[in-house]
Amino acid sequence: MQTQTETHWLARLDEEARALVAAVDAQPDGRRLLDGTLDAEGYIHYLVQTYHYARWSTPILAEGGYRLRRLGRHPELAELLVQKGEEEKGHDRWLLSDLKNLGVPEEQVEAAERSPAVDAYTGWNFFTSLAGVPTAVLGTAYALEYLSRTRAGVWAERLKAVAAIPNIHKSVTFLRSHGALDGDHVAEMQRILAPLTDPEDQEAILFSARVARSVYPRIFRESGATSR
């Protein structure tokens, strides 16, 4: 049975995740993803920047899990982090394959400039994983998987329906797969995080969810660049 405090803390985490969805919807390119009208340039920008953070997901999550194990704290959360690190393996390849089908070769993706949002995201999450409160990474994961559950599948469907981007049918693997997987991943995290009562960990997880909410929406083109 949940106590009042536990209910309260997960409700606050959901609040951060919902605010992230709202902030993404408020970005010009986020709105275009939702109505399916995003152009190729904007979609490529989004996929390239996503690649530059998603390629680090496995080490960020797994290192947090190993460190938690070494510290001898929250064994079930340590396992969850290691498991989530495993789950993220290969997702960067989906991005490279979607980009290749849009005519962007791997070398060009690798050489692309990372946005300040991506540097902030990887910097913050590597810090908490390697040297901060390692459970914090779960706040980032929760917010992004909640966004993914709510938006990734819809974005893929609308992009295909409007078909403003040439070859879009072959270029939504990353979105489609996450839309399918992350509903279950959010439910699993809710179940495992519900019994967590340690206020330091709760605050660290909430804080990282808030960082994700502030930083992630800035991976899109600033003010939607030249798109409609």
Which residues of the chain form contacts with Fe ion (CB under 5 A)? Answer: 88, 91, 145, 182, 185
By beta-carbon proximity to Fe ion, the closer residue of 176 and 227 is: 176
By beta-carbon proximity to Fe ion, the closer residue of 149 and 158 is: 149
The answer to whether 221 touches 112, Cβ cutoff 8 Å, is: no
Q: How far is the CB of 101 from Fe ion (least distance, A)?
A: 18
By beta-carbon proximity to Fe ion, the closer residue of 39 and 88 is: 88
By beta-carbon proximity to Fe ion, the closer residue of 129 and 227 is: 129
Q: How far is the CB of 90 from Fe ion (least distance, A)?
A: 9
Q: How far is the CB of 200 from Fe ion (least distance, A)?
A: 25
Q: How far is the CB of 104 from Fe ion (least distance, A)?
A: 19
Query: From residue 62, how far is each of 2, 79, 92, 119, 144 by CA, in Å?
Result: 29, 9, 16, 19, 17
What DSSP string runs through 113-182? PPPHHHHHHHHHHHHHHHTS-GGGHHHHHHHHHHHIIIIIHHHHHHHHHH--STTGGGS-HHHHHHHHHH
